[in-house]
Each structure stands twice: as structure tokens, then as C-alpha cells.
Amino acid sequence: MSRNILITGGAGFIGSHVVRLFVKKYPHYKIINLDALTYAGNLENLEDIENEPNYFFEKANILQPDQLSEVFSRYGITDVIHLAAESHVDRSILSPLDFIYTNIVGTVNLLNVAKEQWKANLSGHRFYHVSTDEVYGTLGDTGFFTETTAYSPNSPYSASKASSDHFVRAYGETYHMQYVITNCSNNYGPNHFPEKLIPLFINNIINNKPLPVYGKGENTRDWLFVIDHARAIDTVFHHGKNNETYNIGGFNEWKNIDLVKLLCKLMDEKLGRQPGTSEQLISYVKDRPGHDLRYAIDATKINKELGWSPSVTFEEGLAKTIDWYLANSQWLEHVTSGDYQKYYEQQYAER
């Protein structure tokens, strides 16, 4: 079956991996990447596929419904995979409104345009909303987030994502739009903007800069290789049941400090430095306000119902990630010039 799929946020970290997978795996689909190219969007992420005949890029903003309607009409969009968002918790603490506009208002704009454009046959179209495990709030030392865990977001970022999830669900109930929502754990991998823990620390180790661990480093995250997230999105897009939620994760929990020490060890090996060199860069700094203690996804449903499971171990994924950053120093230089320096100063100067 032929489809014209609108992927929003396709120039970002996860979006670029989803775009690449769909463009290569489904040459009979048209893949339209709609992205506003904010600081997090980078067309360098897609240079290897930009000339493929089934790939199209549109610079447009989900805050501009007219731009969305025009793109929908011109391409005859049949389905949406929505990833465009403001995605960094620390930035959401600095400026919550940006998150409310992009993540909530932007999502509702997209829902409205899709509803209008698909009104002749709503059941023939799928709206796929990509969300996060952070909507569930925080866990204590035990337990997992399942699809029925109550939402309890603690940061402006997670509150905005939770709200967008509710709107997608509400459009399903109220207007009978067909949707799927996935809530995924922390991703890592190539093309990750160096404001998040793993790429920030890789970049700082390369440059011999301090590694700012928040609090005591005891917070725990559940890490998934980005290509496995893209594979899961492919699986749910094609086989997920309408109006269902699926959690995505790899049962791979790491305390921040243990992860940072592993990263330091691997980086010393890759850079030919004496064992223990990078660990000396660890610097414990003031904690993030409202810092969630622990995230852990129960991914049983997607595994049992749709047969998805991760393809790489954490050790393999982390090694591939480090190799990518070491081989792509130009990419790192480009994204850390200009505004990045201002953000870094503001975020870490007082800590």
C-alpha cells in the first residue's frame, strides 16, 4: 500500500533515525520531513538520504496551521508520525512557555489540520504521537511504568508532553481520529544534541572539560539505543492497534554515576588515555530542581503483542555511539558553535 507520511521533527535526534529507516525500508512510501530547524534540528543528520527520490523536506512550523494545511494538501498526507517538540528538561525549567507552545499548542494544531484534511474518511488514516516515559513521573527503588500507570509529570517538559498525550487521546474519543501513542525511555546514539547527558559528557571528555553530575549521581534512567526506538516506531506504526498506547524500553537501568564511570572507562580506551583519566573530570554540581529519581519501563506489551525487542546490548550501543562521535568531530563542532555556548554558560555557570 502506498502512503504519504508526514514525519514532524525529522531533522532532530530521534526523528532523523525514523526518517532514514522509513525512507530506506519503504521506497514505495513518500516520506515528508516537516521541521522548523530550531537549535535541535540539523539537516546534516540526513545528508546520506537527502537525494533519495521518496524523501522530501519542508521547513515549516507546527505553530503555523496554515503552513501545515498547505503541506498536507500539496502532498496528500495519509498519515502522521509526530516527533517535533522541545525536548530538554533543563531548558523547560528555564522557559516553560516554549514547551507549552510547541508541545501542546503545536500538537493540537497538527491534530486540527489532520482532522480537517482527513474528514472524508477518518478511519483510513493514522496519527502516531511519539511521547516519553517521563509523563508517568518518578519511581522509587522498585517497580516499573506500565501503560496503565497514572500520569504524574514533574517537570514543565513532562507536563507539556503529558498534556499533548491527553489531547491526542481526546481527539480519538471525541472526533474518532485513529491514533497510537508510544511512551519511550531515554534514548542515546548518534546525532544526539550535546545538551543531554551522554553526548554532553562525550563532548566534554573529548575536550577535557568537567562532567557536571547533578546531585549525588544516584538518579536512574532506562536507556535505549535510538535505532531500536526507530524500529519500535516502525513496528507500532504498521502493526499497533488503533487508539492504544505502547511503552518502549530495553529493561536497561543505569544509575547516572555508574553510567558516567562506564563512559569514562570506554572513552579512555578509545582515546588511548591512561585508565582513570576521564573519571577525574567528574564534578558533582547542584541538583536539577524536581529531579525525578528513577524511570523504568515495562516493555512487555510491545514485546508480547507486536514481537518487538531491542537489537543491540547497551555495551554495543554505547560503543557504536562513542565511535560515531569520534568519527564526526565536524558535526560536533557545528552544533556547539554559536548559541550553544550561551546556553552552556547559563545552564552550568552557577552550579
129 binds ligand TYD (CB under 6 A): no
Residue 204 interacts with which of ligand NAD, ligand TYD, none, CB < 5 to 8 Å by class: none
Q: Are 79 and 5 in contact (CB under 8 A)?
A: yes
Q: Which one of ligand TYD, ligand NAD, none is in contact with 228 (Cβ closer than 5 to 8 A by kind)?
A: none
Largest CA distance in the chain: 65
Nearest approach in angstroms of CB 47 to ligand TYD is: 25
Contact stretch for ligand NAD (CB under 6 A) within 7-15, 199-207, 212-220, 314-322: 7-15
Applying CB under 6 A, which of residues 100, 213, 297, 322 lies at the interface with ligand TYD?
213
Whole-number minimum distance, CB 200 to ligand TYD, in Å?
5
Q: Is 50 one of the catalytic residues? A: no
Instruction: Indicate whether 154 belongs to the interface with ligand TYD (CB under 6 A).
Output: no
35, 79, 86, 133: the catalytic one is 133
Q: HEC states along the chain? A: CCCEEEEECCCCHHHHHHHHHHHHHCCCCEEEEEECCCCCCCHHHHCCCCCCCCEEEEECCCCCHHHHHHHHHHHCCCEEEECCCCCCHHHHHHCHHHHHHHHHHHHHHHHHHHHHHCHHHHHHCEEEEEEEHHHHCCECCCCCECCCCCCCCCCHHHHHHHHHHHHHHHHHHHHCCCEEEEEECEEECCCCCCCCHHHHHHHHHHCCCCEEEECCCCCEEEEEEHHHHHHHHHHHHHHCCCCEEEEECCCCEEEHHHHHHHHHHHHHHHHCCCCCCHHHHEEEECCCCCCCCECCECCHHHHHHHCCCCCCCHHHHHHHHHHHHHHCHHHHHHHCCCHHHHHHHHHHCCC
Measured from the Cβ of residue 262, the count of other Cβ atoms closer than 10 Å reads 14
From the list 208-216, 241-249, 314-322, 329-337, the region that binds ligand TYD by CB under 6 A is 208-216
- Minimum CB distance to ligand NAD smaller for 118 or for 188: 188
Among 14, 62, 89, 296, binds ligand TYD (CB under 6 A): 89
Q: Is 227 in the site for ligand NAD (CB under 6 A)?
A: no
Question: Which residue of 200, 248, 264, 302 would you call a contact of ligand TYD, by CB under 6 A?
Answer: 200
CB of 223 to ligand NAD, least distance (A): 9
User: Which residue among the candidates 35, 79, 134, 165 is catalytic per the annotation?
Assistant: 134
Q: Is 136 a catalytic site residue?
A: no
Sites for ligand NAD among residues 49-88 (CB under 6 A): 61-63, 83-85, 87
Print the binding letters for residues 158-197 with ligand TYD: x by CB under 6 A, - otherwise.
----------------------------x---------xx
Alpha carbon of residue 267 to chain centroid = 24
For ligand NAD, give the closer residue by CB, 101 or 284: 101
Q: Which residues are CB-neighbours of 313 under 8 A, at least 6 positions away?
A: none
* Residues of this chain, 145-204, that bind ligand NAD according to CB under 6 A: 161, 184, 186-187, 193
The answer to whether 79 is a known catalytic residue is no
Q: So which residues are the catalytic ones?
A: 133-134, 157
The site for ligand NAD (CB under 6 A) is made up of: 8-9, 11-15, 35-38, 40-41, 61-63, 83-85, 87, 102, 106, 130, 132, 161, 184, 186-187, 193
Positions touching ligand TYD (CB under 6 A) are 89, 186, 196-197, 200, 212-214, 219, 221, 256, 288
